[in-house]
């Protein structure tokens, strides 16, 4: 498994683990709170049932005192679902019903003497019960005890149902969070993966580009050492060594420039300058190469265009573009440079009549070490120039655009923000 894929799984596991811990803590707190609320609800229902029993007992006394014939017993008529009602006298002897189990009487005895009147008890058949018992006085002043018993199973049933519902919801949420977290982590690490791929490709390309001049230098040196000294031949060998060393030095300098740019260690000066003046210097610098290749170098419109930036970097940017235009234009061809200023932008346009670039290769021309088709491999260079050009343009807030087609030449437009006059 690749390190990045393993890292994604580890992050997803941590994310799911933390979420599970939060759910567990939240669920525990929620369950305890709801359990307490349910217990309070049961206790309130028990006390309400006891109050109803007290009311029925007073009605029973009143009816018995005022009626001459038989009357309906209000306590016998009182029925509360899922509640067992017991009316006892002050000596804790059952009145209604006439008989009560001993364990109920014992629980009533303990409950009526407790602080709040509530007790948990276990029935002989294994049921878990809750009892409430309280003293009251009837309308004739006779003391009574009202006891109400409820099955705690109804509380447990509600609690179990709540746990099952919450567990199902938590599991679904955990699956969604794990899946969504993995997608988010994958998306967030995608730039890192791309950077790592680019770094690996960059290192491989750099090693390949450096290997060629190093191999040539080593071969030249080995051959020269095996031969007898001869001034003319040695001079040719040294010139070849000098060329390869210069090429090697240029590659290393470009690599260092890009490395410092990537690390943010190459500050860019912000000075007022005129793009037309820097462009004129770049044209003068590249003219000897154009004359050597017998390529016509033309200077078109040159409008005054004030921008802000580092003169050396802007000059290097224009030199890279002009140098590429000359290199990939055959003898007898033409390279033209125009500088204009309009709509708040300063533009440098370099056009040539060279070999052109296929449409499928245009998106890749700014990649490091990319040189496209074999026709472009014949030119000197390691394919780092346009990568440096893109960095310089980005550092100056400029935009560089390339339009080209095979056999029709290439147009490179560099747009800088104009500085206030």
The tens digit of pLDDT for each residue in 62-121 reads 887 775 555 567 888 888 888 889 999 888 899 888 888 898 898 888 988 888 899 888
Q: What is the pLDDT of residue 39?
A: 80
- The span from the CA of 73 to the CA of 64, in Å, is 9
- The span from the CA of 139 to the CA of 348, in Å, is 109
Q: Which two tokens stand for residue 200?
A: 């690996």
Task: Please list the residues that pair with 296 across neighbouring strands.
Answer: 334
Q: How confident is the model at residue 59 (pLDDT cuts 50, 70, 90)?
A: confident
pLDDT in tens, 241-262: 787 777 777 777 777 777 777 6
Sequence-ordered alpha helix ranges (H) in 67-151: 74-77, 102-112
What integer is the mean pLDDT of 358-379?
A: 69
238: helix, coil or strand?
helix
Please calculate the CA angle 383-389-390 and round it to the nearest 5 degrees: 100
Provide the residue ranges of all domains of the chain, joining segments of one domain with +. Answer: 3-159, 271-417
pLDDT in tens, 94-106: 988 888 889 889 8
Q: How confident is the model at residue 165 (pLDDT cuts 50, 70, 90)?
A: confident
From 189, 162, 168, select the one nearest 15 (Cα to Cα): 189
Tell the CATH topology of 271-417: Heat Shock Protein 90 (3.30.565)
- The span from the CA of 33 to the CA of 278, in Å, is 76
User: Do the Cβ atoms of 339 and 346 come closer than 8 Å?
Assistant: yes
Q: How confident is the model at residue 371 (pLDDT cuts 50, 70, 90)?
A: low
150: helix, coil or strand?
strand
From 101, 92, 113, 93, select the one nearest 149 (Cα to Cα): 101
- The span from the CA of 175 to the CA of 177, in Å, is 5
The helix (run of H) or strand (run of E) holding residue 357 is none
Tell me: domain 3-159, CATH 3.40.50.720, correct? Answer: no
Q: State the pTM of this model.
A: 0.50
């Amino acid at each position: 498994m690749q390190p990045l894929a393993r890292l994604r799984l580890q992050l997803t596991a941590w994310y799911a683990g933390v979420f599970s811990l939060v759910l567990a803590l939240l669920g525990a707190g929620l369950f305890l709170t709801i359990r307490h609320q349910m217990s309070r609800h049961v206790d309130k229902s028990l006390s309400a049932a006891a109050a109803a029993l007290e009311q029925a007992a007073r009605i029973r006394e009143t009816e018995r005192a005022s009626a001459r014939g038989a009357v309906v017993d209000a306590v016998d008529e009182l029925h509360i679902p899922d509640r067992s009602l017991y009316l006892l006298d002050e000596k804790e002897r059952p009145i209604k019903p006439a008989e009560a189990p001993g364990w109920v009487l014992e629980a009533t005895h303990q409950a009526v003497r407790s602080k709040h009147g509530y007790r948990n008890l276990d029935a002989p058949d294994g049921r878990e019960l809750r009892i409430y018992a309280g003293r009251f006085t009837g309308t004739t002043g006779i003391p009574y005890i009202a006891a109400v018993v409820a099955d705690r199973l109804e509380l447990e049933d509600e609690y179990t149902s709540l746990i099952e519902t919450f567990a199902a919801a938590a599991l679904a949420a955990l699956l969604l969070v794990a899946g969504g977290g993995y997608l988010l982590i994958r998306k967030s690490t995608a730039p890192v993966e791309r950077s790592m791929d680019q770094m690996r490709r960059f290192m491989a390309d750099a090693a390949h580009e450096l290997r060629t001049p190093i191999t040539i230098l080593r071969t030249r040196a080995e051959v020269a050492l095996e031969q007898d000294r001869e001034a003319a031949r040695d001079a040719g060998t040294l010139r070849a060594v000098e060329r390869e060393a210069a090429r090697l030095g240029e590659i290393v300098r470009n690599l260092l420039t890009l490395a410092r740019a990537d690390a943010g260690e190459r500050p860019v000066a912000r000075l007022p300058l005129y793009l037309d003046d820097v462009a004129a210097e770049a044209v003068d610098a590249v003219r000897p190469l154009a004359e050597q290749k017998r390529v016509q170098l033309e200077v078109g419109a040159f409008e005054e265009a004030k921008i802000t930036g580092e003169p050396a970097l802007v000059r290097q940017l224009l030199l890279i573009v002009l140098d590429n235009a000359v290199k990939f234009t055959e003898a007898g061809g033409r390279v033209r440079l125009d500088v204009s200023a309009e709509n708040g932008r300063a533009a440098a346009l370099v056009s040539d009549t060279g070999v052109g670039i296929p449409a499928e290769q245009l998106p890749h021309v700014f990649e490091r070490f990319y040189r496209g088709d074999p026709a472009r491999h014949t030119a000197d260079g390691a394919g780092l120039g346009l990568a440096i050009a893109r960095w310089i343009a980005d550092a100056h807030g400029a935009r560089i655009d390339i339009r080209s087609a095979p056999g029709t030449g290439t147009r490179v437009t560099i747009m800088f923000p104009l500085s206030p006059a």
